[in-house]
Amino acid sequence: MTATDLPQKLQEILRPKLRFLAPSAEVPMDEDLGKLGLDSMASIDLLMEIEQQFGVQIPDDLMTADTFATGSHLRAVIEKLI
């Protein structure tokens, strides 16, 4: 995994979890993920998938609602870790 693959990969992970988003649409990175259909249960699946796909472990202090609030927040956290 390189930093350049990150945006694409994150899009791929996020899209199927956002049930209010049209399947072919680009995930708007600054939109509230809750509004796009991510509930707390889905955010647990999202966490697992991100950690597996990017080979990272999100530390406890970043495992907050804020990290999972938008695509950009997630991206910033992952960038720090890879």
Partner 1 sequence: MPSNTSPNPLLTPPELDGLESAWCISAYVREGASRWPESIYLRDVTQELTYAETWRRICSIAAWLRRQGIEHKDRVVMVAENRIETVLLFFAVAQIGAISVILHPQIKPEGLRRILSQTEPKLGLLESATAWLREEFGDTPLVWVGCENGDCHFADLIAEEEPPGVPYPGLEVDPAFLVFTSGSTGTPRGVILTHDNVRFVSAAIQARLPYRAEDRVAIFLPLSFDYGLYQVFYAAIRGASIFIGRPEHAGPELLRILAAQEISVLPGVPTLFGGLIKMQRYRPVPLPKMRIITSTGDHLPQSYIASLRELFPQALVYPMYGLTECKRVSILLPEELEAKPESVGRPLDGTEVFAVDEDDKRLPPGEIGELCIRGPHLALGYWRAPEETAKRYPVLDGTRVLRSGDFGSVDVDGFLYIHGRSDFLIKHKGHRLSPAEVEEEACLIPGIVAAGCVKDEANDLLCLFVSVSESSLGEAQIIQALSFKLEPAKVPNRVFLLPELPKTGNQKIDRKALRAVL
70 binds partner 1 (CB under 8 A): no
DSSP class of residue 70? Answer: B
Asked if residue 68 lies in contact with residue 38, where contact means CB atoms within 8 angstroms, the answer is yes
CA 39 vs CA 28, 50, 63: distances in Å: 17, 16, 15
Stretch that binds partner 1, among 3-11, 35-43, 73-81 (CB under 8 A): 35-43
Nearest to partner 1 of 5, 64 (CB atom)? 64
Residues found near partner 1 in the complex (CB under 8 A): 19-23, 34-35, 37, 39-41, 43-44, 47-48, 58, 60, 63-65, 68-69
